[in-house]
Amino acid sequence: MDAAGQQPTVSALSEGELLARIFPRLAMDAGHTRATLLGPGDDAAVVSAPDGKTVISIDTQVQDQDFRLHWPNGYRTTGFDVGWKAAAQNLSDINAMGATATSLVVSLTLPPATPVAWVEDLADGLTCAIRELGAASCSVAGGDLGRGREISVSVAILGTLDGGQAVLRSGARPGDVLALAGTAGHAAAGLALLESEVPVDRISPEQRVYLDLQCRPRPPLSAGPAARAAGATAMLDVSDGMVRDGRRLAVASSVAVDLDPEQLARLADRLRPAAELLGADPGEWVLGGGEDHGLLATFPAEAPLPPGFTAIGSIQALGNDEGPDVRIAGRSADTGGWDHFAH
């Protein structure tokens, strides 16, 4: 608090003073810093690439586009939430290649009125997600600060394949089994709760699980490397909805993705507590909801699925005059999913 009893904002500090608040919160133990040879403090970080290959991805969260500070149901997004989600969604992209994350860098754009405590919480969310989600070799190597009209958080992440080959979207083959690791529709149910008129303090603990998974997703980070080791032929992160992302796999591999209606019903049944509260169709969340950051992967029919994966469909060859598609009981699935430029 300042002399007037107000929480200080970033405009009250210099860039160096703000960084001095953030850097200690980004410190990781020795097990997380093997790949980061030089961390925050210089013009650039230095990270190792033992096998000569680096897997890289980047993602951005923008206030009022990817998150709100204040939701209709009264929930207030914390810096911890945004930091956790920034780490989780990027860790998931590396996971989807069958790789292991090694380091990340963060760029923050902040309005002058942003409370310093909110930024400190963001740094805590980043490091806590890395630890709790099991990214045992990843650390924050550095970043950048800037001023703008809304909060924006961009994370670029690096990973390693440890000498192996990446699992692409384009390798699915007719006869393969389609399998899911992680949850489906939980984050979408959480988003629906946030956007509802049901006050956050009236949401039961059973329903609160979905809200928490929207704000702090839990991608199954051990599943990606395990799928690669088990011979996965194709894989991708489910960030924009099962149908939209499944169609991306179908297009890349020139196949049809057939989803099993019984398995979809089982996934939808796990969403009943939120669906009954809101009068919603949980099947729509399963098919169209993103941000769970689970994995869709395909495996040869004879290969045992690795732990954490459940078969939810199959890969079929295209018939004459058929294009790549996602089908349920033989019919094209038309659930939209998330598109940044259509919302």
Report d(CA 83, CA 216) in Å as an integer. 9
169 is in an annotated binding site: yes
Phi, psi (rounded to 5 degrees) for 124? -65, -40
42 is in an annotated binding site: no
Please tell me whether 43 is known to bind a ligand: yes
DSSP notation for 227-264: HHHTT-SEEEEESS-HHHHHHHHHHHHT-EEEEPHHHH
Is 66 labelled a binding residue? yes
Report residue 140 CA to chain centroid gap.
Answer: 17
Q: Give the count of alpha carbons within 13 A of 54, CB side only.
A: 12
Helix, strand, or coil (residue 144): strand
- On whether 144 is known to bind a ligand per the annotation, the reply is yes
Question: Is 237 flagged in the annotation as binding?
Answer: yes
Binding site annotation covers 121?
no
Q: How many CB atoms lie within 10 A of CB 66?
A: 18
Please indicate if the annotation marks 339 as binding a ligand: no
98 is in an annotated binding site: no
Are 78 and 71 in contact by the 8 Å Cβ rule? The answer is no
Of 60, 44, 49, residue with least CA distance to 158: 49
Which amino acid is it at 119? V
Give the span between the Cα atoms of 148 and 108, in whole angstroms.
Answer: 9
User: Does residue 240 have a known ligand-binding role?
Assistant: yes
Helices within 195-340 (DSSP H only): 205-215, 223-229, 242-253, 261-269, 272-278, 282-288
Residue 48 annotated as binding?
Answer: no
Q: Tell me the binding residues for substrate.
A: 66, 291, 338
Query: What residues are designated binding site for Mg(2+)?
Result: 43, 57, 59, 93, 144, 237, 240
> Which residues make up each annotated binding site?
43, 57, 59, 66, 93, 143-144, 169, 237, 239-240, 291, 338
Residue list for the binding site for ATP? 143-144, 169, 239
